[in-house]
Amino acid sequence: MLAPRCGMSDVQNEIDSDTGLPYQWEKKRHLTYAFENYHPSMEESKQRLAIRESFNRWSIVSGFKFRDVTGIKDVIPDIRIGFFSKCHNDPDCFDGHLGVLAHGYYPEDGELHFDKDEPWGYPDTTKSKNDLLEKKVFDLLEVSTHEIGHVLGVDHIPNARAIMFAGYFPTPDINGNYIIKKMTDLDKEKIQEIYGPNVGTGVASRGPPILPNRQNNTASS
């Protein structure tokens, strides 16, 4: 329980009494997202790359399409992404370094928040992978993939291999190299329980080039 983890409790997504299913995006399969701010110690381009890759992962297994509308005027995004410290105008205050890393909220809230007091990284170099393995920084790609799962309505999965596992445990391979955690069949099955199988091949999220209505249905990570 002292390990870094998702801020969401292991209470499951509530069931919609009208549909008998967990809360979900009822009518939308094309969702937009935008950054409200960036983490000051990580390159903005890498933050946007990590988030885009996370959305792409869910797109492939769900059939959702995502578009980055950061900086586009007169567009209200479905999903709002930002880095915040301690209490920040939602029901779940962050707790400083370590502990809770991030939290997302069940549909159709659209809030996705990361703890600004944590150091964040992206696994694109040998040095960054070593830093991730030693927990000098936390993997924004892994954590954002997990949180986007909550934003889409997916619960925690009690299996450490799954991206929707609540705990954060960076793992080396047999050679001591950092393993980038990937989506599993368990994650795929979980989202398809809500939205059905993906009849297409998935579509990568779209948006600008990578450059230097809240409901009380909470799920934080």
Contact assessment for residue 85 and residue 93, using Cβ atoms and an 8 Å cutoff: no
Known binding residue 6? Answer is: yes
**How far is CA 110 from its chain centroid?**
11
Known binding residue 39? Answer is: no
Which positions are annotated as active-site residues?
147
Known binding residue 78? Answer is: yes
Known binding residue 96? Answer is: yes
Known binding residue 118? Answer is: yes
Phi, psi dihedral angles at 92 (to 5 degrees): -125, 100
Known binding residue 92? Answer is: no
Known binding residue 30? Answer is: no
Give DSSP secondary structure letters for 32-71.
EEEES---TTS-HHHHHHHHHHHHHHHHHHH--EEEE-TT
Instruction: Give Cα separations from 144 to 81, 174, 200, 201 (angstroms).
Output: 10, 26, 24, 22
What is the H or E stretch that residue 139 is in?
A: strand 138-139
Question: Which residue is associated with the tokens 């997504």?
Answer: 13
Give DSSP secondary structure letters for 99-133.
SB-EEEETTTT-EEEEETTS-EE-S-SHHHHHHHH
User: Of the candidates 201, 4, 11, 21, which has an alpha carbon nearest to the alpha carbon of residue 117?
Assistant: 4
Binding residues: 6, 78, 88, 90, 95-96, 103, 113, 115, 118, 146, 150, 156, 164
Binding residues for Zn(2+): 6, 88, 90, 103, 113, 146, 150, 156, 164
Binding residues for Ca(2+): 78, 95-96, 115, 118
